[in-house]
Amino acid sequence: MSDKKKNTPKLSFNSLWIYVPIAVIFIGLSFLNSGDMGTSKLSDNEFMKILRENDIEKIMVVNKSYAEIYIKDEAMTKEPFKKQVNSPFYRKGSPLYTYNFGDLQNFEKELKEKQDSLNLDFDKRNEARTSIMDSIIGFLPIILLIAIWLYFMRRMSGGGAGAGGGGQIFNIGKSKAKLFDKDTKVKTTFKNVAGLEGAKEEVQEIVDFLKSPEKYTKLGGKIPKGALLVGPPGTGKTLLAKAVAGEAGVPFFSLSGSDFVEMFVGVGASRVRDLFKQAQQKSPSIIFIDEIDAIGRARGKNSMTGGNDERENTLNQLLTEMDGFGTDTNVIVLAATNRADVLDKALMRAGRFDRQIYVDLPDLHERREIFEVHIKPLKLAEDVKLEFLSQQTPGFSGADIANLCNEAALIAARNNKEAIHHQDFLDAVDRIVGGLEKKNKVITPKEKEVIAFHEAGHATVSWMLEHAAPLVKVTIVPRGQSLGAAWYLPEERKIVQSEQMLDEMCATMGGRAAEKLIFDKISTGALSDLEKVTKQARAMVTVYGLNEKIGNVTYYDSTGNDSFVKPYSGDTAKIIDEEISKIIEGQYNRAISILDTHKDKLSILAERLLEKEVIFKDDLVKIFGERPFDKEKNQEILKSSEEE
Ligand code: ADP
């Protein structure tokens, strides 16, 4: 039975037991208070009768509001009393009756008269008594507050069923790590991780450490305590950590950095302690902390805003624990982040996360491998070309590709197909990159014409420029936020030269340039283009040192220390602004002149677009003729898809 299953019944019990004492106190006290269960109330006549017969031993006036009547022992044998005494609720020494006398003064006066006239020998006393129920009612708000507090504490510590056990209030300081051990074995292995060869090689060593530590310790070497997986989201960091656990066959504690964070001071640190204690008990084991930047951010940076002491305490505890456990404990901490630059330097020093493993976005070859992993469970048609799909998905992470495969399967199913076709994958790419198709978006014919010329402008300019990315298709079907799009097949360059950047910017400005040339009016439709070129131009000038006037200077700071003061003078700022503007305007004018030269072809393309809504590369070849720069590339692509 797994841990989780074991905990489930306990959880419901635990939630109940908190309320049990409260209920018991309430019920118990109401019982105590009703010590008068063996007494009954007397009417005026009955009271007078008992009084006159001199059967009363004592009259106790309680709180000036009612009287308790005690009967003489010798009278107990008389009929009404005998029945009362034999009742199971009667306790010896307690009053047999209570009597509501109404006005106390009149009652006392009457008693005095009767006592004198009839020569009665009862004893009359007064007593002030606080009823237990009254005090309870006084305490009720506090009891209620405690109950509410208990309830919320329980809710907050709840959901921690896992390694730490059920969601009791006492578990708030327990780690929330999810444990995969022999019962819930990690089945992921390196086979499930496509690409990432370098990273796999590095973690392979960790697997060896865990499997046969003696091999390394024999020679006096120390086993590393932690490794940091750094890379953008969805690139397979969690998958890799799981694969390490799966390969080594050791328990795997998985949690996210934010799981340490709680409203209460000290909880984070206590959770860290608990996590390491549990991991040591199950050693050899792996602790995996996802998004470690949630706690591992450099300390003391935001002291101006008061800082976050709780987070710092948690981080300090983590550092202490990592230092604390000996090299022989065989607990290895793997952590993942996409912001290694913001992490505290103390985390990275040797003896803690002394290894940093970079897990980057997959390249063309790796994407193909990832596709192969994820198409395994799918039913594919013959025509699916993985090579082409890998080319079509630059910038996709492993998670994106997994999502794409799933999306393609859904699209094929929606169209009642027996197998998933190549076109389904392409539709899925469109859908993921561009968003949902919005066929019924209302667009006027005039707007449509502007959009068609805008997109045709992009297509024409990029066709004519050597370094602009080759075009795949142009569409004026609105999707997501965009009204139309030109799709390219970007080269994956490791370094980019100025000319390449400028050509790309020129193609991006092609849309607005076409609007200006044809309609002599420009529109708001170029917003995202402008944003893109402005960023590129700024990067050329201030980051990459690609501007002659500014020279070989960069204002980029890789440590991520944003400062309020710009690292350049006011004069330089002016030059930077001028140069950025010059670059953009230059490319805009270049685009206009290219389009002017090919104005007739631009118009044919726009008309074709208006007519067909989507046009592909083949249509462009028909209008413009073969793109000279593409010949070699085309042959390569053709060759690889033929090989498939
Ligand atoms: P991260 O932790 O880096 O954000 P994950 O490891 O959670 O990313 O990846 C999410 C999903 O993406 C995985 O479950 C897997 O299906 C898929 N994936 C990511 N990278 C790869 C890869 N290299 N090979 C196979 N699948 C991958």
Question: CATH code at 52?
Answer: 3.40.1690.20
Domain coverage including residue 313: 178-358
Contact 107, 42 (CB under 8 A): no
Average pLDDT of the segment spanning 347-351:
76
Same domain, 311 and 408: no
571-587 pLDDT, tens digit each: 999 999 999 999 999 99
What is the C-alpha to C-alpha distance for residues 164 and 279, in angstroms, rounded to an integer? 11
Which among 154, 147, 153 is positioned nearest to 21, based on CA atoms?
Answer: 147
Nearest atom in ligand 1 to the alpha carbon of residue 362 is 23
Tell me, yes or no, whether 274 lies in a domain. yes
User: Can you tell me whether residue 286 is helix, strand or coil?
Assistant: strand
Q: What is the pLDDT of residue 322?
A: 80
Confidence check: pLDDT of 614 > 80? yes
**Can you give the pLDDT at residue 5?**
37
Residue 269 in any domain: the answer is yes
Question: How confident is residue 505, by pLDDT bands cut at 50, 70 and 90?
Answer: very high
Is the CB of 399 inside a 6 Å radius of any atom of ligand 1?
Answer: yes
Query: What pLDDT score was predicted for residue 185?
Result: 67
Among 200, 201, 235, say which to mutate for ligand 1: greatest number of ligand atoms within 8 Å of CB. Answer: 235
| Cα 27 to Cα 4: distance, rounded to the nearest angstrom | 35
Query: Each residue of 413-461: pLDDT tens digit?
Result: 999 989 999 989 988 888 888 777 777 777 888 888 999 999 999 999 9
pLDDT above 90 coverage of the chain, percent: 19
Domain identity same for 493 and 622: yes
Q: Please tell me the predicted confidence (pLDDT) of residue 162.
A: 41
**Binning pLDDT at 50, 70 and 90, where does residue 184 land?**
low
Indicate the burial class of 305 (C-beta count within 10 angstroms; 0-12, 13-18, 19 or more). Answer: exposed
Q: Taking 70 as the threshold, does the pLDDT of residue 408 lie above it?
A: yes
- E strands present in 415-534: 471-475, 485-488
The listed range with the strongest mean pLDDT (205-214, 297-306, 401-410) is 401-410
State how beta strands 614-616 and 285-290 pair: unpaired
**Residue 303 pLDDT exceeds 60:** no
Work out the number of other CB atoms within 10 angstroms of the CB of residue 217. Answer: 15
Lowest mean pLDDT among 154-168, 289-303, 328-342, 562-576: 154-168
When comparing pLDDT for 526 and 175, which is higher? 526
Q: Which of 286-290, 430-434, 535-539, 562-566 has the highest mean pLDDT?
A: 535-539
What's 312's domain CATH number?
A: 3.40.50.300
Closest CA to 95 of 145, 9, 152, 36: 36
- What does the pLDDT read at residue 24? 59
Is 455 exposed, middle or buried, given 0-12, 13-18 or 19+ CB atoms closer than 10 A?
Answer: buried
Which residues carry out catalysis?
455
Residue 149 in 3-state DSSP?
helix
**Is residue 28 in some structural domain?**
no
413 and 318 together in one domain? no
Atom of ligand 1 nearest to the CA of 232: 3
Instruction: Please check the confidence at residue 280 and state whether its pLDDT lies above 80.
Output: yes
Classify residue 612: in a domain, yes or no. yes
235 Cα–ligand 1 center, Å: 5
* CB of residue 232 inside a 6 A radius of ligand 1: no
- The structure's pTM equals 0.62
194 lines ligand 1 (CB under 6 A): yes
- Percent of the chain clearing pLDDT 70 (strictly above): 82
Mean pLDDT of the chain: 80
Q: Using CB atoms within 10 Å of the CB of residue 182, give its burial: 0 to 12 exposed, 13 to 18 middle, 19+ buried.
A: exposed
475 near 427, Cβ under 8 Å? no
Distance 488 CA to ligand 1 centre (A): 26
Question: Distance between the two ends of the chain, CA-based, in angstroms?
Answer: 47
Work out which ligand 1 atom sits closest to the CA atom of 241.
6
Mean pLDDT for 327-331 is 69
Matching residue, tokens 């009862």: 122
Residue 245 has pLDDT above 80, yes or no: yes
Longest dimension (CA), the chain: 136
For residue 445, what pLDDT is reported? 87
For the Cβ of 195 lying below 6 angstroms from any atom of ligand 1, the answer is yes
**Same domain, residue pair 349 and 411:** no
| 151 is a domain residue | no
CATH of the domain at 403: 1.10.8.60
* 203 and 54 co-located in one domain: no
Q: What is the pLDDT of residue 351?
A: 74
Give the whole-angstrom CA distance, residue 355 versus residue 326.
Answer: 18
Answer yes or no: do 316 and 416 share one domain: no
- Mean pLDDT score, 479-486: 79
123 and 183 both lie in a single domain: no
In the predicted structure, residue 589 carries a pLDDT above the cut 60: yes
Q: Which of 69-83, 131-145, 211-225, 317-331 has the lowest mean pLDDT?
A: 317-331
pLDDT of residue 12: 42
Q: Is residue 26 part of a domain?
A: no
DSSP string over 171-205: GTTS---EEE-STT-----GGGS-S-HHHHHHHHH
Residue 309: exposure state from Cβ atoms within 10 A (0-12, 13-18, ≥19): exposed
Res 173: pLDDT = 61
CA-wise closest residue to 472 among 434, 525, 529: 434
The answer to whether residue 150 sits within a structural domain is no
Residue that is last in its domain, among 317, 334, 358: 358
Q: What is the predicted pLDDT for the residue at 516?
A: 94
Q: Specify the 3-state DSSP secondary structure of 107.
A: helix
540, 637: one domain: yes
For residues 279 and 2, which has the higher predicted lDDT (pLDDT)?
279
Q: How confident is the model at residue 477 (pLDDT cuts 50, 70, 90)?
A: confident
Same domain, 290 and 332: yes
Residues 336, 396 within the same domain: no
Lowest-pLDDT choice from 280-284, 523-527, 630-634: 630-634
Do 195 and 236 lie in one domain? The reply is: yes
Of 112, 128, 144, which residue is a domain's last? Answer: 128
Ligand 1 atom closest to the Cα of residue 194 is 24
- Does the pLDDT of residue 163 top 50, yes or no? no
pLDDT higher for 174 or 161? 174
Most confident of 46-60, 194-208, 247-261, 576-590: 576-590
Establish whether residue 198 lines the binding site of ligand 1, counting it when its CB lies within 6 angstroms of any ligand atom: no
Bridge partner residues of 357 (DSSP): 229
Q: What is the pLDDT of residue 218?
A: 82
Q: Quick one: 614 exposed, middle or buried, by C-beta within 10 A (0-12, 13-18, 19+)?
A: middle
CATH assignment at residue 597: 1.20.58.760
- Same domain for 625 and 584: yes
Give the pLDDT score at 453: 94
Last residue of a domain, one of 358, 377, 392: 358
Mean predicted confidence (pLDDT) in 99-118: 87
Kindly state if the Cβ of 615 falls inside 6 Å of ligand 1: no
Measured CA to CA, the distance from residue 28 to residue 260 in angstroms comes to: 41
Supply 74's token pair.
């010798």
Q: How many domains does the chain have?
A: 4
Backbone CA torsion sign across 282, 286, 290, 294: positive
Residue 233: cis peptide before it, omega within 30 degrees of 0: no
Q: What is the mean pLDDT of the segment spanning 331-339?
A: 86
Q: Does residue 171 sit within a domain?
A: no
Which of 242-246, 259-263, 563-567, 579-583 has maximum average pLDDT? 579-583
Evaluate: CB of 289 within 6 angstroms of ligand 1. no
Contact predicate 429/480, CB 8 Å: no
Q: What is the pLDDT of residue 159?
A: 43
Q: What is the mean pLDDT of residues 324-352?
A: 77
Indicate the length of the chain as a whole number. 644
